[in-house]
Amino acid sequence: MKTFNGRVAAITGAASGMGRALALALAREGCHLALADKNAQGLAQTLDLIRTSTLSPVLVTTQVLDVSDRQAMYAWAARCMAEHGEVNLVFNNAGVALSSTVEAVDYADLEWIVDINFWGVVHGTKAFLPYLKASGDGHVINTSSVFGLFAQPGMSGYNATKFAVRGFTEALRQELDLQRCGVSATCVHPGGIRTDICRSSRIDANMTGFLIHSEQQARADFEKLFITDADQAAKVILHGVRKNKRRVLIGRDAYFLDLLARCLPSAYQALVVFASKRMAPKARMPVFETNDEPRL
Ligand SMILES: NC(=O)c1ccc[n+]([C@@H]2O[C@H](COP(=O)([O-])OP(=O)(O)OC[C@H]3O[C@@H](n4cnc5c(N)ncnc54)[C@H](O)[C@@H]3O)[C@@H](O)[C@H]2O)c1
């Protein structure tokens, strides 16, 4: 897809961060938009920003929904078709973050992140795929993370969902290439991007004293690692779609960690352990009684 002018893009997670930046960038290029998020207020703000900052007369529709709700996602896809007549691009971008050890993580938190980060992407892909095929020129853009290429202690839930999005999208791309159906797929792996993700993430209490000193400090430290802004990230994503790239990395941190994982595919883990000890010198693994029953 060389131009977005006159196309229709559906974007999840459009109330904030990269989803909002993608909406604004696409509107500036004359792309019609179907925007979804669970945050109604943020979605309305995105709509206002599009109206005030772009001159293009694009049709913008909004839908408040939870991407983990399969029925709601299919109903939204059908509504996009009814209101826009076609859909050419779907950006499965909505996501959340979770910090916890494997041993102590609650199943409820794991299910929460898998439902949004993995199932949300699956729902968006499958609900829109028939419409993208019907358009004759479609593209699925699924947001993984640099943590879909590289694992880190305390991020197992996030890592699991983002590795899953990568596998799902890479297999999808190969199927679409084989089918020559006019639809393509790109997997996006951002490094640290300045958005609201850190503020909305869940940090389990078991992380304090292990890899972090306090929740507040951890959020502040994480944000220092966010070196790319969301508008720049959107630009890189849209460039990748134009070039029909299979994989899009965003930020020099993503390139560095990707290179590390390629050069040292398993040994990089020892380096992460070493670095983690240096970054949290007083932190220790929380002590669990060896006769504790596994927690359900
Ligand atoms: N910011 C980063 O450093 C970074 C790095 C790598 C990957 N990512 C990924 O990029 C994507 C976008 O995140 P962002 O950084 O712009 O964060 P963000 O928090 O600014 O935006 C995420 C949006 O998703 C929405 N959302 C969350 N749960 C939802 C649900 N159940 N249903 C519908 N909408 C929901 C939120 O309301 C929010 O508007 C996510 O998938 C995230 O995992 C972010």
- Ligand 1 within 6 A of 18 CB? yes
Q: Is pLDDT of 250 > 90?
A: yes
Query: Which of 74, 158, 255, 268 is an active site residue?
Result: 158
Kindly report, residue by residue over 113-150, the tens digit of the pLDDT.
999 999 999 999 999 999 999 999 999 999 999 999 99
Average pLDDT along the chain: 93
Of all atoms in ligand 1, which is nearest to the CA of residue 225? 3
Kindly report, residue by residue over 67-106, the tens digit of the pLDDT.
999 999 999 999 999 999 999 999 999 999 999 999 999 9
- Nearest CA to 259 out of 189, 161, 179 is that of 189
Kindly report, residue by residue over 207-222, the tens digit of the pLDDT.
888 888 888 888 888 8
CB 1 within 8 A of CB 241: yes
Q: Is pLDDT of 234 > 80?
A: yes
- Residues 185 and 63: their CA atoms lie apart, in Å, by 24
Ranges of beta strands (E only) in the chain are 8-12, 32-37, 60-64, 89-92, 98-99, 138-143, 183-190, 193-194, 202-203, 228-229, 247-250
Residue 34 dihedral angles phi and psi, to the nearest 5°: -120, 110
Q: 294 by DSSP, 3-state: which?
A: coil
Radius of gyration of the chain (CA): 20
Of all atoms in ligand 1, which is nearest to the CA of residue 115? 31
Kindly report, residue by residue over 19-30, the tens digit of the pLDDT.
999 999 999 999
**Which residue, by CA, sits nearest to atom 34 of ligand 1?**
37
Q: Check residue 58 and give its pLDDT.
A: 95
* Catalytic annotation present for 131: no
What residue type is assigned to position 178 of the chain?
A: L
- Residues 249 and 233: their CA atoms lie apart, in Å, by 9
